[in-house]
Amino acid sequence: GDYGYIRQIETTLKSLIFHNSHLKIYIFNQDIPKEWFIHYKSLLNQIGSDLIDIKLLDVPLNRDWYAGFSHIAYMAFARYFIPQFVSEDKVLYLDSDIIITDSLDNLFTIDISQHYLAVVRATFGYGLGFNSGMMLINNKRWKAENITTKLVEKTEQEKDSIQEGDQTILNLVLGHEAIWLDDTYNFQIGFDQGAFSYRHQHLFELSLDPLPKILHYISGDKPWNTYSSGRLREVWWHYHFLAWTDILKK
């Protein structure tokens, strides 16, 4: 994440903590002030969770890597460096345009020991594959096979032709050994405008009752924009306005 996206990071964090407990949360960034981390770490510590500030200052994260779309910053490539900074064998990666609506305990019971990761297929895109906004990562294997270096090298090779940023590279390097999950774990709600334009009617027929466990507001049509056309805008704002006192009491 980056400081310009701090409202979105806080909203994702609120939704995650509201429905889940005893978490160890790492936020990869380059510019979020230490005071922000001190404040939120103290809140999370009250309910048995922890918050770790990972400053990506001495890693080969290239500002010139093209993320494919104007609404995606180069920090999207930060997920490459998870093995370098996270000690746990299994890691859940989440974008900051995501809302969690339920417990994710069942997600962590999935056996990914023989795969690189567990993911959900992309709703729309070039060549499809998986959407990289939610990844259950076999971090033990990523470390053993030096996946970070492979991702960085592949990005440098393909940087002039990348269509969807990190997602393109992750699919090229890891997509052949992935577990495919139900779309409740990465329900890509933000593409309504595109789905309407491209007449992908089936996307509007997918059930939203009950709400998917992970809502992902993909595309530039974000719910925090002054105007947006996507469904479930109100869900994002609900979690945005949740008071931390209510979250901690729960």
Digit-coded pLDDT (tens) for 81-113: 999 999 999 999 999 999 999 999 999 999 999
Nearest to 180 by CA among 88, 116, 86, 85: 116
Q: Domain limits of the chain?
A: 3-249
Tell me the percentage of the chain whose pLDDT exceeds 90: 72
**CATH top-level class for 3-249?**
alpha beta
Beta-sheet pairing, 117-121 with 130-138:
antiparallel
Mean pLDDT of the residues in the chain? 90
Residue 230, pLDDT above cutoff 60: yes
Residue 56: predicted pLDDT: 93
Give CA–CA dist 11/5, Å, rounded.
10
Reply yes or no: is the peptide bond before residue 60 cis, omega within 30 of 0: no
DSSP H helix total and E strand total for the chain: 9, 9
pTM to 2 decimal places: 0.92
| Structure confidence at residue 149 as a pLDDT band (50, 70, 90) | very high
In whole angstroms, what is the distance from residue 41 CA to residue 29 CA?
15
